[in-house]
Structure 1
Amino acid sequence: MKILSFEAISNKKDPLTPFLRSRLAVVDETHDVDEALDLVKFYEYDVILLRLSEQRMGELDLVRNLRQTRVRAPLVAITRNMTEAARLRVLQTGADDLIVDALSHEEIFMKVQNLVRRSHGFQDNALRIGAVEINMNAKKIYANGKPVTLTKKEYQIVEILALRKGAVLSKEVILDHLYGGLDEPNPKIIDVFICKIRKKLQSLGVDDFIETNWGRGYMVIDHQPDARREKARHPLPAPQPLRAIA
């Protein structure tokens, strides 16, 4: 999960960003409105977090500008001690959700993650694609009901591809989601990660989860709908009535 976090006033002691990163999220931080608008032009985020306060409601212009750029990522405002009138202003401006007075960083993370999952078309608590299930809360993956032992980077790759099911992601895009532009290795490392993931899934009977789009990158496709359509086109013959034995 890739997050853009905006707060007008820098707070280096704020533990929310380190907590999000501990939950395998890649977080880009900015305290500048123009930089935030530039970042969404060049990078695809799963969610944009806006740290707002009732004393700085002028920052709502960023919400309006983000909506004008037609950014697809959900906009989530996080605030404390905000009156109902101010909360309504935030929502009317275009925020998708508003988290007020959250008791813990875990609560914020869970609410954000659930919104991200639904925004990508997954209504259940887990991402289910074919025989693979990705539990985003536990950060675990199952193939045919059996746990798959993955490294943190391998898990992140599977989650990224699953959230963007049906879309081809280049190696450069995957690298950005893994490292956030910091100390990125050679893009060929993604080929190595994908090879290891495939071998682990194949050992559990799944060999069609990640597909290669030559020259472009990798993608995940749910083959189950195809199987259901094929079954509908070629239904099993109706059972014959039993004949009485003379």
Structure 2
Amino acid sequence: MRILCVGEGSGHDDGRPYVGLSKAALEGSVSITMSGHAGVVETLRRSHYDIVVIQQATPDMKLLRHIRNSRVPTPVMIIVRDSTPSAVAELLSIGADDCVAASVEPVELLARLRAIVRRVSGHDSLTLHIGRMTVGVDRREVHVDSKLVPLTRREYDLVELLALRRTQVLSKETVLDSLYAGESEPYGKVIDVMICKIRKKMRNFGIDEPFTTLWGIGYRLNETAFAPLGARAGATENRTDQPAKESCIPVMSGINIMNASTTLNLV
């Protein structure tokens, strides 16, 4: 999960995530990029983030209004030290997806962050249903036709990431940030190798091409491959194009422009 954390810039946060957010990052694969108020909208437009976390001593509506008036769709959570029910209600009414106290327990905060990202991606439960495939986020398991797919921890993380972002093309940089947040980043071809291994495992379950590779751009989940067998057969008969051949040639990374000042990666 990639988080753009916006400090209040008043000295209360000392340019770092609040303690609860830092501890939540230690309990899950979370990459935190710290930023000041200036240039937040431009950063969100140029780089992919799963959620924005705005840290405030007391509720201030200006930045949230600016983000929403700019029609940036990224979900926003507000973390405040002191607040009132009416102030929280106003934050929610103008576009915040959640508002929590700075004293929130890390385990709850992490669960709230994941729930927001999941809902924004169009999933309303901890089990993601995509045709013949189910991804159990709570159990960290992938099943095809109710049969367990034997994935490694990293392979599962990649399938879950692409399932959550099933309508999006994810660059290699985004995938690396999400899977290896806070760790020494591996050599670039590791994602291509992982994709090939998952493809081979999925073929044992009758899934020929679980991912679509857009050369020079990134990867996307191929939902058509997981369609029920009858529906997929009908779609295949109507196709006029030829399926792409499998290849482990690495995808070239695109340009990743960051305006945030400091990056803090934690696991």
Per the alignment, residue 7 of structure 1 pairs with: 7
**Whole-Å Cα distance in 1 between the matches of residues 26 and 201 of structure 2?**
25
Which structure has more relative contact order (CA 8 Å, sep 6+)? It is 2
Percent identity reads 32
**Whole-Å Cα distance in 1 between the matches of residues 101 and 159 of structure 2?**
32
Return the structure number with greater helix share: 1
Per the alignment, residue 40 of structure 1 pairs with: 44
Query: Relative to 1, partners in 2 of residues 1:204 and 1:29: Cα closer, same or farther, differing over 3 Å?
Result: farther
5+ residue gaps, structure 1, are 233-246
- Could you state the TM-score of these two structures normalised by the residue count of structure 1? 0.76
Offset at 1:12? 6.5
Which runs of at least 4 in structure 1 moved beyond 6 Å after TM superposition?
Answer: 229-232
Alignment of 1:204-219 (within 5 A): 204-219=205-220
Offset at 1:220? 0.8
**1:26 touches 1:178 (CA, 8 Å); kept in 2?**
no
2:66 is aligned with what amino acid? N
Q: Mark the structure with the bigger radius of gyration.
A: 1
**Whole-Å Cα distance in 1 between the matches of residues 160 and 170 of structure 2?**
12
2:123 is aligned with what amino acid? F
**Aligned-partner SS, 2:142:** strand
- Which of 53, 68, 83 is equivalent to 2:57? 53
State the Cα RMSD in Å.
3.2
Count, aligned residues: 229
Query: Relative to 1, partners in 2 of residues 1:167 and 1:41: Cα closer, same or farther, differing over 3 Å?
Result: closer
1:91 is aligned with what amino acid? L
**2:54 touches 2:77 (CA, 8 Å); kept in 1?**
yes
**1:131 touches 1:206 (CA, 8 Å); kept in 2?**
no
Offset at 1:182? 7.5
Listed one character per residue, the Cα deviations across residues 85-130 of structure 1 (whole Å, up to 9, x for unaligned) are: 2213322442122234775222222222222112111223211222
Per the alignment, residue 238 of structure 1 pairs with: none
Query: Relative to 1, partners in 2 of residues 1:42 and 1:14: Cα closer, same or farther, differing over 3 Å?
Result: same
1:22 matched to 2:23? The reply is no
